[in-house]
Structure 1
Amino acid sequence: MIRWFNILRGFLMGIVELIPGISSGTLALLLGIYDELLISIQKLFSKDFKKAAGFVFPLIIGMAIAILSMSSVINYFLVNHTIIVHWFFLGLVFGVVPMMFKLGNYKYEFKAVHYILIVITIVGMYFLSTVNTGVQDVTEVDTSPGVLLFLFISGFLGATALVLPGLSGSVILLILGAYPVVIYSISEFTSFNFEVLPVLFATGFGIVFGVIFASKFIHYLLTHFTYLTYAFIIGLLLGSSFPIYHGMPTNTVQWILSVLLFLSGLILSYYVSTKNNKETI
């Protein structure tokens, strides 16, 4: 059975992946589909392929539609309303955190080691956010074998991050220096420049293999190291505030809009995440 509503969910996840600092894994948590997504990706290579494909492929379609149709719109808001937009997303991320503590049964299961892991992860995210995150201007692409291999590896690592809530695949691509090339190639492809197809294929295949690997690994961690994994994810979510944060508002109008959007994102995220998620991921 095809889950057609997942096209909309995938569309929202695709929009989120266009924004450096925001993770589609966070949105999957918010929508209450994170665990089912991990399991379905693994079942794509089993006898339950048809059922898993009915869940995963509509998500992929929705993400593809969002990436191809919304990249220019997202870029406009990021360039012209940077601070306001990012305060909204800060609210979305922080709103998921209480639900994660609840799922982790922190009152009974969290010990000192769990809180230490949260702090270490937050510190790691801070240093990650300071590394090579400047976007370079790209006006052409190189399709030599070495560059395509680099883009495959970048896609693999970015997709591994994509599956983890709080860790943005876009940030990983920024750090590796692949993000400007990928965004430029997407933009050129939508303008019917098919010379960028090798770049998109190389990155796309890397993303596919990365998602498959990461989903298996994270599901293993959740199964065998459940509460440590919850603590790690909480640290990722809190630490993702560093790459998302783009400064304080600079005038009265920005302050009002930023506060309102932050609170809107916080309330929306908290409400949706607690409504959609059950007691276990």
Structure 2
Amino acid sequence: MRIIQFFKGMAMGTVETVPGISSSTVAMLFGIYENIIDALHHLTTKKWKESLRYLLPILLGMAFGMGISVIVVHYLLENYNVQVHALFMGCILGMLPLIWQSGKKIGDHYQIKHFFIMALFFALILLLNFSLEETHFQIVNATAFDYMYLFLAGFLASIALVSPGISGALILMILGVYETALDALVQLDFKIIFVVALGVLVGILVTSKLIRYLIHTFRTASHAAILGLLSGSFFILFPKGSFTALEFIVSLFILLITTFAVYRFSFRD
């Protein structure tokens, strides 16, 4: 069981360094998203040992997956950018029916207010991606302010980590520290890694409680928000720039196959 959790965590970590798709999205695909949110919540309760046992193989897998992602995924994005984005877009598209259905498990039906929530979060994620100006935050001789900013960036990125539809990497990119964090991982700059990771950890412990409350109290509305976020991230992942007719055909084939495979996997039970 733990080895399965490790591989699920590895898949989550692999996508987390890619701007546009969240590890939480992958967790939803595997059906463990709400379990993770519950476990994160219980880390600050008497059930922390049980929660830590559940989370540990997932976290180790994520760390391993991120290590692979830094090398492999970025190589693929550099050389097969259109095809890789088509793969991720297919993952999102194939999972939308599951999220839609999950929001109605308690017998509720989507109402006008829920469609408004979908539209709102759909617009917000597009606004976040296309309207905010990307900055570049380079560190030469790090000051106390630099480390405070890196901590804040990690904290904000953690919100995306526990919210399906938007990646922590995208938040770091908008804040201008994505390349800094990536270079730190490659060069094993443990000071920068520690500060960003600490910000992420604190943010996850805080945010997971809010997410858990919303999912358990306003399940249909929460899933409507997730649907909006995921739908918006589908368009964010659309490859920028020009591509050849062959790339388009191959990518379309990858998109269709991935969508079908994820859809069947999502409803495997």
TM-score over 0.5 for the pair: yes
Shift of residue 131 of structure 1?
Answer: 3.8
Shift of residue 136 of structure 1?
Answer: 5.2
What amino acid is aligned across from residue 231 of structure 2 in structure 1? L
1:129/1:242 contact within 8 Å kept: no
1:141/1:181 contact within 8 Å kept: no
Residue of structure 1 aligned with 2:263, choices 252, 262, 270: 270
1:130 lines up with 2:130 in the alignment: yes
Distance 1:116 1:185, change over 3 A: same
1:165/1:233 contact within 8 Å kept: yes
Aligned to 2:192: 199
Gaps of 5+ in 2: none
1:171 lines up with 2:170 in the alignment: yes
Runs of 4+ more than 4 Å apart: 132-138
Residue of structure 2 aligned with 1:254, choices 235, 247, 251: 247
1:141/1:185 contact within 8 Å kept: no
Task: Please give the per-residue CA displacement for 1:77-106, whole angstroms capped at 9, x wherever unaligned.
Answer: 111111111011111011111011111129
Task: Please give the per-residue CA displacement for 1:142-165, whole angstroms capped at 9, x wherever unaligned.
Answer: 431111111111111101111111
- 1:1-281 aligned within 5 A: 3-105=2-104, 108-132=108-132, 141-189=140-188, 196-247=189-240, 250-275=243-268
Task: Please give the per-residue CA displacement for 1:171-195, whole angstroms capped at 9, x wherever unaligned.
Answer: 1111111111100111111xxxxxx
Shift of residue 264 of structure 1?
Answer: 2.1
Shift of residue 9 of structure 1?
Answer: 0.8
Task: Please give the per-residue CA displacement for 1:200-258, whole angstroms capped at 9, x wherever unaligned.
Answer: 11000011111111211001011222211111011001011232111487223212210
Q: Give the whole-Å Cα distance in 1 for the aligned partners of 2:242 and 2:84.
A: 11
Distance 1:19 1:214, change over 3 A: same
Q: What is the RMSD of the two structures over their aligned residues, measured on CA atoms? A: 2.0
Distance 1:273 1:135, change over 3 A: farther
Q: TM-score, normalised by structure 1?
A: 0.89
What amino acid is aligned across from residue 256 of structure 2 in structure 1? L
Worse-superposed segment, 45-54 or 99-108: 99-108
